[in-house]
Structure 1
Amino acid sequence: MDGPPIERRPPPVNPGVIGQAAGLFAVTNIDDIVILALFFAQGAGHRGSTVRIMGGQYLGFAAILVVAVAAAFGATFLPEAAIPYLGLLPLALGLKAAWQAWKNHRDEDDDEEAEVKPGGPGLLAVAAVTFANGGDNIGVYVPVFATAGIGGMSVYVVVFLILVALWCLAGRFFATRPVIAKALSRWGHILLPVVLIAIGALILVEGGAFGL
């Protein structure tokens, strides 16, 4: 006679994995806070800029996770040799931002009009910078995901996605501090293209793109 059905429960989540995931995210994404602060400073006074920046950050980081998870299962969406060329994305966006800053300096619009019209960083631009800047993180995430198993990998993904929101809040916090906000409002239009161009060049050079 068959006994009562055995209830199968998923194994409990190891709290240590949560801490490891949080630590790994912090170590590999600490520079993103600076970039986010610059984006939030650029979008200050523009309608919908916060939503676009956070949406772009999530979109870019989700793409990183998709590639890393796929690679952990043996699928390769992004060949390793192509990662250094991701530097072309922030480099191009940095050059565009520099051109825009130079153009605005020559032809300044009325301040009140600038405050009511949409502007600031675009969703896809933020996503592109996030993905390119985190492209080298894929090489770190893949072996961790592959050894963590499906359950552990799921914990990593959930923790990462939660911390993306925390990173966005931190970037916005720094961008709205009076001293920092004043400096970014004065120099942010120069710092943003400089940082983006530097990130792009660094990715290209460190990855050996174009034989560099």
Structure 2
Amino acid sequence: MSWSLLAQAAGMFAVTNIDDLVVLAVFFGRAGADRARAWRIVAGQYLGFLGILAASVLGALGAGLLPDPVIPYLGLLPLALGVKAALAAWRHRDDDDPGDARAAPGALQVATVTFANGGDNIGVYVPVLAVAGAGAMSVYVTVFLIGVAVWCAAGWLLATRAPVAEALSRWGHVVLPVVLIGLGVAILVEGGAFGL
């Protein structure tokens, strides 16, 4: 296991979950000092993220059935999701409604929001896991599960730090499309898709 693989897994988790961090902060803010509600949020986050991981691993294993020359074209998934996120950010640039963030912070509600918000995660994780191999895939999954705990702690901290939560809420929608588009292009280029 190399440090670069750990860093890549941690970085991928962070950039694909920036939006989730804001949602978690809102959920934790609504939970207030109620520890039982806070633990339900953590349980829901893990449940939703386990769904994302299951879909990603199954998708990656299915992608393993594809011929090798086709694999680099999976980079089109995060690229398309990045473009879609950029268009959505542009369309909703003047909106103040946090949407799903207003849901009651029960475990199933948090899991549903997490999974529904994880389409970009799945689109990014599938092509990366498809080319990673079993050993690297287990590293990614482990780092991602640790990342969920870190994200929950960070979400709780953000819920108590209004200026930080406001900054993430303001710029998270810009960072995500840029990263997804960059990741999609990197997968396409590294795999030699389109003769790149």
TM-score normalised by the chain length of structure 2: 0.62
Give the aligned residue type for 2:121: N
Q: 2:112 aligns with which of 128, 138, 147?
A: 128
Secondary structure in structure 2 of the residue aligned to 1:74: helix
State whether structure 2 residue 1 is matched by structure 1 residue 17.
Answer: no
Taking the aligned partners of 1:69 and 1:122, their CA distance within structure 2 comes to 27
Partner of 2:87: none
- Structure 1 stretches of 4+ with a deviation exceeding 2 A read 94-98
Matching residue within 47, 59, 63 for 2:47: 59
* Two-structure CA RMSD over aligned residues (Å): 3.0
Q: Which runs of 5+ in 1 are unaligned?
A: 1-12, 85-93, 99-119, 185-190, 192-212
How far 1:16 sits from its partner (Å)? 1.2
User: Cα 1:72–1:95, aligned 2, differ >3 Å: closer, same or farther?
Assistant: closer
Helix, strand or coil: the match of 1:121? coil
- Change in Cα spacing, 1:96 to 1:73, as seen in structure 2 (3 Å) is closer
For the Cα contact (< 8 Å) 2:52–2:122, is it kept in 1?
yes
* 1:152-185 Cα deviation digits (max 9, x unpaired): 00000000000111111111011123x559x99x
Identity across matched positions, percent: 58
CA distance in 2 between partners of 1:96 and 1:21 (Å): 26
More helix by share: 2
Residue 156 of structure 2 is aligned to residue 172 of structure 1 = yes
Cα gap change, 1:96 to 1:57, in 2 (>3 Å): closer
Q: CA deviation at 1:136?
A: 2.1
Offset from partner CA, 1:39-84 (integer Å, 9 cap, x none)? 0011113350111001000110110000000111118xxxx9xx99
Aligned 8 A contact 2:23 2:101 in 1: no
1:153 aligns with 2:137: yes
Unaligned runs of 5+ in 2: 64-76, 85-98, 170-196
Q: Select the structure of larger CA radius of gyration.
A: 1
